[in-house]
């Protein structure tokens, strides 16, 4: 079940992200759209293997209120994202889930959309309890998932903020950390 961003939040968040000089990508169905001047969209679209379209800002502004946006991804300098979060997070966090997935990438989605809620729903469908699950993460967009499961592992090369939490640790990506964590769990 897809939970899109609240339509009334799309314009204000887009406008505010632009003020901080961030490039904005947004998902509608299985297609990625980006604002004009977006230097990141081609590489990002190739990485996630989805088609993309560049739109002029005026075109976005004229249609944004009707768009069924699954998620926005803002990209830019880490300092600009941090300043945006420091100054604007409180204005949006009651309606949206804002999380840095990489130092240069901010994900914005419906408040109820996160990996922890996804695992909860999957467990419900498959009849698996959180106490029987493990999860492996490396960045802040994994935090809710790691908090949800009974056996959370953080990659050795993960975010310092996650490494500081009381999660089990596994080796880095380059040291087959996922395989190592699974072997520890089994």
CATH of the domain at 168: 3.40.50.1000
Looking at the chain, the whole-number percentage of residues with pLDDT higher than 90 is 75
pLDDT above 70 coverage of the chain, percent: 99
- Res 35: pLDDT: 86
The predicted pLDDT at position 166 comes to 93
Average pLDDT for 50-62: 88
pLDDT for res 1: 61
Mean pLDDT across the stretch 67-94?
94
Q: CA-CA distances (angstroms) from residue 169 to 89, 114, 146, 174, 179?
A: 29, 21, 12, 14, 12
**Torsion sign across C-alpha atoms 103, 106, 112, 115:** negative
* Residue 158 tokens, joined: 């993960």
Position 74 in a domain: yes
- Residue 39 confidence class, pLDDT cut points 50, 70, 90: confident
Q: What is the pTM of this model?
A: 0.85
Calpha distance 103→185 (Å, rounded): 29
- Residue 1 falls inside a structural domain: no
**pLDDT value for 119:** 97
Residue 2 in any domain: the answer is no
Q: Give yes or no: residues 18 and 86 share one domain.
A: yes
User: Confidence band (pLDDT; 50, 70, 90) for 40?
Assistant: confident
Is 152 a residue whose pLDDT tops 80? yes
CA-nearest of 92, 172, 103, 93 to 141 is 103
Residues 11 and 95 in one domain: yes
Residue 95 lies inside a defined structural domain of this protein: yes
Q: Is the pLDDT of residue 104 over 70?
A: yes
CATH number for the domain harbouring residue 84: 3.30.1240.10
CA angle centred on 157, ends 151 and 159, rounded to 5°: 75
Placement of tokens 């961030």 in the chain: 22
Task: Give the pLDDT confidence score for residue 59 in this predicted structure.
Answer: 87
The average pLDDT across 44-58 equals: 89
Q: Which domain holds residue 40?
A: 7-110
Pairwise pLDDT comparison (155 vs 1), residue with the higher score: 155
């Amino acid at each position: 079940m897809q939970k899109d961003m609240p339509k009334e939040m799309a314009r204000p968040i887009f406008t505010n992200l632009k003020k901080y000089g961030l490039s904005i990508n947004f998902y509608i169905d299985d297609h990625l759209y980006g604002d004009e001047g977006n230097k990141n969209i081609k590489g990002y679209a190739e990485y996630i293997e989805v088609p993309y379209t560049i739109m002029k800002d005026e075109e976005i502004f004229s249609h944004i209120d009707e768009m069924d946006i699954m998620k926005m991804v803002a990209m830019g300098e880490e300092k600009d994202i941090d300043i945006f979060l420091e100054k604007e997070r409180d204005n949006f966090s009651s309606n949206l889930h804002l999380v840095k997935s990489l130092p240069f990438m901010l994900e914005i989605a419906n408040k109820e959309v996160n990996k922890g809620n996804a695992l909860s729903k999957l467990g419900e469908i498959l009849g698996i309890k959180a106490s029987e699950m493990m999860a492996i993460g490396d960045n802040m967009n994994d935090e809710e998932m790691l908090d949800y499961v009974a056996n959370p592992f953080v990659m050795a090369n993960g975010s310092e903020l996650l490494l500081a939490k009381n999660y089990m640790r596994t080796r880095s990506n380059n040291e087959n950390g996922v395989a190592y964590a699974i072997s520890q769990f089994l």
